[in-house]
Amino acid sequence: MPEGVLAPPTRDRLHSAANAGDARILSHAMRSRAVDLYLTNGSGRTRPNRRWKIDLDALAFDPIPGIDAEHEVSFTGSLGRAIALPLATAAREHAETLARITRLVDIERWKFGALAMGLSSFGALVHVPAEYDVAEPIVITYRIGASSAFPRTLVLLEAGARATVIVEFQNAAGSFVVGTSELIVEERAHLHFATAQQVGSDSIALESGVSRVGRDGSIVLASADFGAGLILRDRETSLDAPGARLEQSALFLPTGAGHLDVAATVRHVSGHTASQTVVKAAAGDNAIARFLGNIVILPHAAGSDASLRDDALILSPHAHIDSVPALEIACNDVKAYHGATIGAIDDEQIFYLRSRGLDESEARRTIALGFFEPTVDAFPTAALRESLTQRIVETLR
């Protein structure tokens, strides 16, 4: 291997990096187990082919995180009786809460969730006590340097609690980020959780997310991904008890030679649960994107109501998007729907807007903004929605 070119890390190197991690965040035994799971678990993705050039089961990276000063986490928002702490502080002051979330979420079932656990170096804990409503959004900002980083975001809402949590990633050029979001929403609690990525075209960002929702609880999930050489997102939401609800929205807009791979699974574990997933995707230049959406309704989940809608817009003759929606239904008394569309911008729409005084590029931006509007509206604050709209406009220029 030429000098300066990374190779997939060896088992010994991964274990050495895991053993150097903070044992208060996660014990060395659990880190070692997570690393072994990373090495044995498959990514669940298609092997490289004529379009997909990246082998997700053999990624090359440096497992040694950058020094702590390169990676920062900060918080805004009035907390009241809730807590929002860096993971290292939470490990000292709220070890039982960290252990509880880790035990219930089981993020290490996913290949890159296991890697993030094994090498976790920093992150954040949000804990909202029972029957407490956090009035302002809690904003977590990760500022990540030009090296490897393995942040974990853990959120626990106890019974009857309410909160909005926004996670923003600001990555330096050349960063390799593998993170998790581990969310527990107990009975009658409500969480609005949003993630926005701002990463460079030569960066890699991989995230594994698991959510569990209890009786009469609800969660709204919104994610936005732009740019990056590679973005991979795995998310599973489990509706564990009657009355649990999910609203999930995602938008992604890769350009250049970017590769983006998003998989979302909704598990209706109990009956009388409801989920709605809406995805809006567009790809320009030579970008490649893929969305895998799956609704799983288990045998005792009668009365479940689930829908999945995925719409994709091709902005360049050289771009490509795959859409793979799926249903796994093991119960008769349910409502379930999925649908997908893939197409280019309609020439008649462009002609109409040009007849109203817009040039062709302005017409295309206007159509794309309208296409993304339903998912932008799912984000929790006006400032964030405005920022996303501006990012879409800048990307489409």
The phi, psi pair for 157, rounded to 5°, reads -110, 115
pLDDT at position 121: 79
DSSP codes of every residue in 170-220: EE-TT-EEEEEEEEEE-TT-EEEEEEEEE--TT-EEEEEEEEEE-TT-EEE
Q: What average pLDDT does the chain have? A: 90
- Residue 331 in contact with residue 299, Cβ under 8 Å? yes
> Which is nearest to 148 in space by CA: 13, 291, 41, 54?
13
Residue 31, in any domain of the structure = yes
Residue 66, in any domain of the structure = yes
Is the confidence at residue 68, as pLDDT, over 50? no
pLDDT at position 356: 81
> Which of 2-16, 47-61, 256-270, 358-372 holds the top average pLDDT?
256-270
Residue 226, in any domain of the structure = yes
Residue 349, in any domain of the structure = no
- Residue 360 in contact with residue 315, Cβ under 8 Å? no
Q: What is the pLDDT of residues 204-238, one digit of tens each?
A: 999 999 999 999 999 999 999 887 789 999 999 99
Q: What is the pLDDT of residues 324-380, one digit of tens each?
A: 889 999 998 999 988 888 888 878 888 888 888 888 888 888 888 898 999 999 999
Residue 319, in any domain of the structure = yes
Tokens of 195: 């993630």
Q: Tell me the average pLDDT across 9-17.
A: 94
DSSP codes of every residue in 81-112: T-EEEEHHHHHHH-HHHHHHHHHHH-GGGSHH
Please return the burial class of 276, using the count of CB atoms within 10 Å of its CB with bins 0-12, 13-18 and 19+. Answer: middle
Residue 312, in any domain of the structure = yes
Tokens of 49: 């082919």
Number of domains in the chain: 1
pTM of the model: 0.93
Report the 10 Å Cβ neighbour count for 255: 21
Percent of the chain past pLDDT 70, that is, above it, reads 96
Q: What is the pLDDT of residues 239-260, one digit of tens each?
A: 999 999 999 999 998 888 889 9
Question: Which structural domain range is residue 53 located in?
Answer: 11-344
Q: In what order do the strands lie in the sheet with 190-198?
A: 72-76, 138-144, 162-171, 190-198, 218-226, 245-253, 274-283, 305-314, 335-344
Residue 391, in any domain of the structure = no
Residue 357, in any domain of the structure = no
> Which is nearest to 98 in space by CA: 33, 24, 150, 149?
24
More confident residue, 64 or 126: 126
